[in-house]
Each structure stands twice: as structure tokens, then as C-alpha cells.
Amino acid sequence: MGSLYRRGTNSMSDLIVGHAVESLTCYELKLFLRLLYRSSLSSRSDLAFIFPSKSAAFDNIILEENDAFLKLATQYGKLNHSTHLMASFDVTQFVKSSKRGNGTGEPIWGRRIRSNSSEEMETESTRQSYGSVVGFDVQELDPDNSLAGFLDPDNSLPMSLRRWACYPMLLGRVRRNFKHILLVDIKDILLSGDPLGRVRNQTPESVSLSTLTQSITIRHGKKTQSTHQKLANPAIIMGGARGTRRLSNAMLTQIVRAAMQHKKKNSLSELGLFNQLVGNEFILKNVNLIMSVESIPELSSLTGLNFKPGSRWSINHTLIRRGTINKDVNYVVTKLLCLFPLNSTINSDC
């Protein structure tokens, strides 16, 4: 079951579960991977995708970016320290260290592979560390389409809702393998750093949520007034494995409960249901919710992009929202990465 795109170097303590909505494009998937693979998060986390269906185009992009990552890690590893400072890829993040907290055992994905003599001779200062990359389609994780009987049977269930029916099988199978889990909408959110750092010192029941500012219009007779409200953002959820699993199970129950109470099944939205759940302290009494007071910045609004000649590429945020008007910005970010010599020779679209 599933596809193994890359087998990591060893077992990891963290898991990223990224779901792809139906409108995700190949270009958006490529940028998500390219930024993630340059962050320290990918050196200590496994990555699992959930797709609406099998896609040869997505498979090819993941394999291509994996190959580019391994080439970058090898090439930058040969450079001296002064050259590292001017690089877009910090290879020191992927050097194996006992301080990282990663396991020393085999990755949980794929078959066990015997190490050869050259690998055994590697020192702690040269041995690389990076996570596995796997993928599933919803039919593999939710073969019975368990929500179909509660929602509109005439319309296909959107990934924003069906993904919650996929988590019980996936997170249940790996519940003893990972300490922290991050659930992310890979179309809406980019991971450019290690946001899990804010929950690693919390309890296993803790879950951190970000906020989303939404504009609403209120009518007072003939007059209308615009205001803003902060909502919990279901596109990015992270925390201890136990708390994240409990929250995802509660959200699945919330969807079923709401579907049975509403006559118009197609009016249910993930954002509305998720915020109803977050506001119910009784249902989530076994989950320690941590609400962030800051909203995630949009890619088009960032001023922290560091791409001056002679300096290391960096984005001064661990989480970024793509935003609504982002096609040109996505293109610019990709081309900025291509300005560095090694990137331009390894990435095929440079």
C-alpha cells in the first residue's frame, strides 16, 4: 500500500502529513518540496502525502525533486565552509548528530537495507540524515469512503473534508513511531523552516494552531459594515502525536455530527466545522490547544526574503501562506533559487 518515493537514512521523531486538494498544480507541489527540502525540518521528519487520486505527474515531480535534493546535498557537502555561507542550501542541517533526537534505527517505510562497508566507515561529521517520503491516495487510506453516506452522495467529497477520514488509518499505524505530527495543506502553506520547534517541549497532548484573519460584512438595516475576525486555521496543525491524533478523530466526528444535523449537506465547510470544534472545550478536554496570536504571513507580503549576492538564501519565517494572488510570486521565488550556480545546474527548470 502506498508509494515509497525516498527511503530516509534512519528513523525520525517527527512526521509531516501533507494533503493535496483537487486544485493543486504541479508547479505548486514543486515549490512546496523545494522549500521544504532546504529546511532543517526535512532532516528530522518523514513526509507522507495524501492525494485525491494517483497522479503520474505528481509522482514524477516528487522523484525529480528528491533526486535534485540528493545531488545538492552531495555537491554542497564538497564545498568549503566559506562557500556554504553564500549558498542557497545549508548542507550542515543534514549532517547526522545525536543531539537532533532522531532515532538510530531503520526507517519504518520500505524494506530493511543492509549497510555496505563504505557507509559503516562514515564518521558522525560526514553521515547525512534526511527523512523518508511516501505517498497514499485516499482510496488506500479510506477504501469505504466512510463519509459518503453522511454527505451529499451526488457530489464527490472534497479533500478538505475527506482527508479527516484518512487520518485514523495512517496516524493509527504510526502512533508508536513518531513523537510529533504536522498536518498541512500543501497548496495553502509552505514550510520554509522548522515550525515544530514550538511544540517539541510541550506535552504529547499539546496541539498548536495558527490563526487566519477573515473579512466579514455585517448589515445594520440598509448600512453595511466590514470587520475582521480571527479564526483557527485548519490548513496547518502541529503538536504531539497523541494530541494531534485526538484532534483529528474529533474533527471526523464533528463532520459526521454536522452532516446529520444539516439538511443542505453541501453547505458544510471545513473552516466553519473546525472552528466550532476548537470552541468546544468539552469535546477537546483531552487536548491541550495552544492558539498562536500571530497570523501566518502571505508569500506576496514578505520583506524577509534574503537573496543579495554573496549571502545565503533565507526566508525569515517557518510558515508561509501562498495567498490568493501568488502566481507571479511563486515564479519569482523559484527563479531566485536558480540564481545560485549549483541550483541552476541541478534543477531542471532553471
Backbone angles phi, psi at 281, to 5 degrees: -65, -30
Backbone angles phi, psi at 228, to 5 degrees: -125, 145
Domain boundary assignment for the chain: 3-202+233-276+294-346
What's the rounded Cα separation, in Å, for the pair 250 and 253?
5
Say if CB 12 and CB 6 are below 8 A apart: no
| Residue 293: predicted pLDDT | 78
What are 150's three cell numbers? 453522511
Which residue bears the cell 444535523? 261
Which residue bears the cell 526535512? 42
Backbone angles phi, psi at 112, to 5 degrees: -65, 135
Q: Which residues of the chain have pLDDT under 70?
A: 77-89, 96-104, 112-126, 152-155, 215-223, 225-226, 263-266, 302-316, 324-337, 339-345, 350
| Residue 161: predicted pLDDT | 94
| Residue 253: predicted pLDDT | 95
What's the rounded Cα separation, in Å, for the pair 56 and 257?
36
Q: Which amino acid is at 186?
A: I
Q: State which H helix or E strand residue 117 sits in.
A: helix 117-120
What are 31's three cell numbers? 515549490
Kindly list the distances between the CA atom of residue 69 and the CA atoms of 34, 89, 182, 307, 316, in Å, as whole numbers in the listed order: 8, 9, 21, 20, 21
C-alpha 312, offset from chain centre: 24
| Residue 38: predicted pLDDT | 85
Say if CB 307 and CB 313 are below 8 A apart: yes
* DSSP states along 129-171: ----EEEEEHHHH-TT-TTTTTS-TTSPPPHHHHHHHHHHHHH
Determine the 3-state secondary structure of 36 from DSSP. Answer: helix
Which residue bears the cell 545538492? 72
What's the rounded Cα separation, in Å, for the pair 350 and 345?
7
| Residue 19: predicted pLDDT | 98
